[in-house]
Structure 1
């Protein structure tokens, strides 16, 4: 039998590569790496800059998902509620929510979702107002 893939580790590695543009050209700090709460199977990365926090994660439970959430940061440093990438993507006119799907069926779709979310975020960032509306 082959070794079972460590999907949270593969997610972190692939996400760091796919979202490197945030650090390289968008002014974000290197991501913080967090395992999800005890009892959950998954991982989360959080990128921050002065005005925006981008959290992306993989939850490998009963219905595995990849998700991306953007939260505004106020001038006094408070973090707002924010919204999911797919909601903001549609609201900004970037395309349909299907461009940034969240469901994961296996290792292949996990890696594909990471790249779909990175591409969706690339398209969205230039269209975000200085303070995007919260949902």
Structure 2
């Protein structure tokens, strides 16, 4: 009998791979990991001088989900306005919200969602923070 997947750990491992471009080419620091067992969530937060990217996974039943939020960073280093990736992606004209789905039914779709979010962010990033939408 095989070992059951550890979705939060699988999420963090896959997100580090999919979002590696943030550190490698976009000037973001290595991600900080956050786990919130009370809310059944895991999160990786990437930060650079002007922008913070948080990608997370909620494993609460009955519905799992992947989400990505963007926050502007002010000159004093504090987080300012925040918006979801799918909203910023659509507002910037990068594509429809279906390009950034969040619902997860199993491990396979969770891994797929992580890569879909990374691809959407990669497409949107050149327009940020100049075209950051209002919340």
**What TM-score comes out, normalization by structure 2 length?**
0.94
Q: Which residue of 2 aligns with 1:50?
A: 49
What is the SS of the residue equivalent to 1:16? helix
Q: Which residue of 1 aligns with 2:87?
A: 87
* Gap runs ≥5 in structure 2: none
What is the SS of the residue equivalent to 1:50? coil
Q: What do you get for the CA RMSD once the two structures are aligned? A: 1.2
CA distance in 1, matches of 2:40, 2:2: 20
Q: CA deviation at 1:127?
A: 1.6
Per-residue CA shift, 1:5-49, capped at 9, x if unaligned? 10000000000000000000000000001102x323231000000
**What TM-score comes out, normalization by structure 1 length?**
0.94
What is the SS of the residue equivalent to 1:82? strand
Find out whether 1:113 has 2:113 as its counterpart.
yes
CA contact (8 A) 2:92 2:131 kept: no
Higher fraction of strand: 2
Q: CA deviation at 1:133?
A: 3.5
